[in-house]
């Protein structure tokens, strides 16, 4: 193909891949690669996220390239949508900016044996009950409280701790990334302030872009994969998007303060102090990883308890046990995390630390970490859109292992800041606009809905077309929102 060059020597090297050469900025150790179509690239010109891709390429031990997915937008240090892998053997670092403040923010999808036409009249009672029973919004606490040794066990064990409490099943654990527990968690590295913030927040939705959605399967694109996941046309699903709440935020904040002078101590020069980092095998690096892994386990428990409460709400409204409704977890994926994984680099398998900051793992069929139920189709990849359009279920493809360390996009990606979105929504009733589309919206504040208005986001269909075109993931099913719960 003919390579197309853009401003700053950026060139198109594949139909959906753009290269930032390592001489774009002195100090880059590898090239940058951005997955996008031509319209997205045009919109990115002059965006600070573009420069952040180049800045990540300065990190010691980085392998292959600094990568960005099509939902890219500016974040703290790393762009949101950023992926990079660092090798401890080559002095590779770990950076809180490559994970983000909401550690293990992620999304899970639960299927049911219900069909839209069968429960059409129950949609509003279901949405109202979910809104009543599931704590959402800033400062809202839940019915689950953990402190002392119980909280430390939860941070170390993840969802298996909840299984002991009768709040999770073996199937839930099997269908959660990493089995709902990141190895290497060190609760002792989590500050008292973080522990206090998390004590009454497990099982709460939070605010911002977090949500719980009642959805219907709108279209099937891969019948075999959909059947393996238990998804049928017109069947009803529940999607949950949340993270580690105040505990994870505090872990990140604490780490950034501790790491402020660490790069200079190790002779690391960075173009942006927001990229504060430490060698993975240093005391500082190990301390952050241990605390981050504990926060990640908290996030998986948070989503598990949110799902458990959703199951109880359905059972109460429909008068049938959730097991009879076959409310089974399809999958849960993290999209703000740093994980040790094995990848082929330069012809050999190497253990690297993969940072995914607003990016989803997307491993293909046959991969040993793909759950057994999905070994023949690939890992489910769950991509939420905005409140007014749709969300997607994909499966990982071999191209992700070859190009992006088994990663793809995590959502639609913001195109407007929260302030700009509120300004655009001024004088409007977003809930009423959604109601006219047949979508029931419940929120603790009008501002919260305004910040998350549909036009604040890129078109998720365009984003998904890019990752499919680049062979990172393939379409399985499209989901349409029926009701949304927000803080």
Which tens digit of pLDDT belongs to each residue from 61-117?
999 999 999 999 999 999 999 999 999 999 999 999 999 999 999 999 999 999 999
Q: Most distant CA pair in the chain: distance in Å?
A: 64
Q: Please give the torsion angle defined by the CA atoms of residues 227, 391, 249 and 283, in that order, rounded to the nearest 10 degrees.
A: 50
pLDDT on residue 5: 43
Give the CATH number of the domain where residue 263 resides. 3.90.1860.10
pLDDT computed for residue 36 by the predictor: 97
pLDDT in tens, 396-407: 999 999 999 999
Helix or strand holding residue 105 (H, E):
none
Q: Are 436 and 478 in contact (CB under 8 A)?
A: no
Q: Above pLDDT 70, what percent of the chain?
A: 98
Asked if 70 and 473 touch (Cβ cutoff 8 Å), the reply is no
- Cβ atoms 486, 444 nearer than 8 A: yes
Question: Within a domain: residue 60?
Answer: no
Q: Which of 175, 210, 355, 410 is catalytic?
A: 410
Residue 410 is a catalytic residue: yes
Question: Residue 389 class from Cβ within 10 Å (0-12 exposed, 13-18 middle, 19+ buried)?
Answer: middle
Residue 49 domain-assigned?
no
Residues whose CB falls within 8 Å of the CB of residue 86, separated by 6 or more in sequence, listed in order: 59, 60, 61, 62, 63, 92, 93, 94, 280, 352, 353, 355
Summarize the confidence of residues 336-359 as an average pLDDT: 97
Domain that holds residue 129: 106-415+457-486
In this prediction, residue 138 carries a pLDDT of 83
Residue 466 lies in a domain: yes
pLDDT at residue 387 above 80? yes
Quickly state the pLDDT bin for 8 (edges 50, 70, 90): low
| Amino acid 444: pLDDT | 86
Q: In the chain, helix, strand, coil percent, each to 5?
A: 40, 25, 35
Residue 6: the pLDDT is 47
CB under 8 Å to 199, separation ≥6 — which residues? 145, 146, 147, 151
- 440 lies in some domain: no
Q: Kindly report the three-state secondary structure assignment for every residue of 177-244.
A: HHHHCCCCCCHHHCCHHHHHHHCCCCCCCCCCCCEEEEEEEEEECCHHHHHHHCCCCCEEEEEEEECC
| Backbone torsions φ then ψ of 232, nearest 5 degrees | -130, 155
What was the pLDDT predicted at 4? 46
Q: What percent of the chain has pLDDT over 90?
A: 88
Residue-wise pLDDT for 169-222, tens only, equals 999 999 999 999 999 999 999 999 999 999 999 999 999 899 999 999 999 999
258 within some domain: yes
Terminus-to-terminus CA distance in the chain, angstroms? Answer: 47
The verdict on residue 70 lying in a domain is no
Does position 2 have pLDDT exceeding 50, yes or no? no
Structure tokens at 128: 């109202």
Asked whether residue 265 is assigned to any structural domain, the reply reads: yes
Count up the domains in the chain and report the number: 1
* Residue 337 covered by a domain: yes
pLDDT, tens digit (0-9, with 9 covering 90-100), for 435-444: 999 999 999 8
Q: Judge whether residue 7 has pLDDT over 70.
A: no
């Amino acid at each position: 193909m003919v390579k197309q060059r853009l401003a700053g020597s950026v060139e198109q090297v594949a139909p959906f891949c753009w290269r930032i050469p390592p001489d774009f900025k002195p100090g880059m150790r590898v090239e940058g690669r951005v997955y996008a179509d031509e319209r997205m690239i045009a919109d990115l010109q002059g965006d600070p996220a573009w420069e952040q891709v180049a800045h990540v390429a300065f990190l010691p031990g980085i392998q292959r390239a600094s990568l960005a997915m099509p939902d890219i937008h500016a974040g703290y240090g790393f762009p949101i949508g950023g992926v990079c892998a660092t090798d401890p053997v080559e002095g590779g670092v770990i950076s809180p900016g490559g994970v983000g403040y909401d550690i293990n923010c992620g999304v899970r999808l639960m299927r049911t044996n219900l069909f839209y036409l069968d429960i059409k009249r129950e949609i509003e009672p279901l949405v109202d009950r979910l809104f009543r029973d599931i704590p959402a919004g800033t400062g809202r606490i839940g019915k689950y409280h953990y402190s002392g040794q119980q909280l430390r066990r939860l941070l170390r064990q993840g969802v298996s701790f909840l299984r002991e409490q009768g709040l999770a099943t073996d199937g839930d654990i099997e269908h959660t990334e990493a089995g709902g527990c990141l190895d290497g968690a060190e609760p002792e590295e989590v500050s008292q302030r973080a522990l206090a913030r998390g004590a009454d927040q497990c099982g709460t939705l939070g605010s911002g872009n977090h949500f719980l959605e009642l959805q219907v399967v709108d279209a099937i694109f891969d019948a075999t994969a959909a059947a393996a996941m238990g998804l049928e046309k017109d069947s009803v699903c529940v999607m949950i998007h949340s993270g580690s709440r105040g505990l994870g935020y505090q872990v990140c904040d604490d780490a950034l303060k501790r790491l402020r002078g660490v790069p200079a101590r190790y002779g690391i020069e960075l173009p942006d102090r927001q990229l504060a980092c430490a060698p993975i095998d240093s005391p500082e690096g190990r301390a952050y990883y241990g605390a981050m892994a504990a926060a990640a386990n908290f996030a998986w428990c948070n989503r598990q308890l949110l799902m458990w409460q959703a199951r109880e709400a359905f059972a109460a409204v429909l008068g049938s046990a959730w097991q009879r409704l076959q409310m089974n977890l399809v999958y849960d994926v993290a999209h703000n995390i740093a994980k040790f994984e094995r990848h082929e680099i330069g012809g050999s398998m190497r253990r690297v630390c993969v940072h995914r900051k607003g990016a989803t793992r997307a491993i293909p069929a046959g991969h040993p970490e793909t759950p057994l139920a999905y070994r023949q189709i690939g890992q489910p990849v769950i991509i939420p859109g905005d409140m007014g359009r749709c969300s997607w279920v994909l499966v990982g493809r071999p191209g992700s292992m070859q190009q992006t360390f088994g990663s793809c996009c995590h959502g639609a990606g913001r195109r407007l800041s929260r302030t700009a979105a509120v300004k655009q929504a001024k004088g409007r009733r977003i809930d009423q606009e959604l109601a006219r589309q047949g979508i029931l919206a419940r929120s603790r504040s009008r501002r919260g809905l305004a910040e998350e208005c549909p036009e604040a986001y890129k078109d998720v269909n365009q984003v998904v077309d890019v990752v499919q075109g680049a062979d990172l993931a393939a379409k399985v099913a499209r989901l349409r929102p029926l009701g949304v719960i927000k803080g």
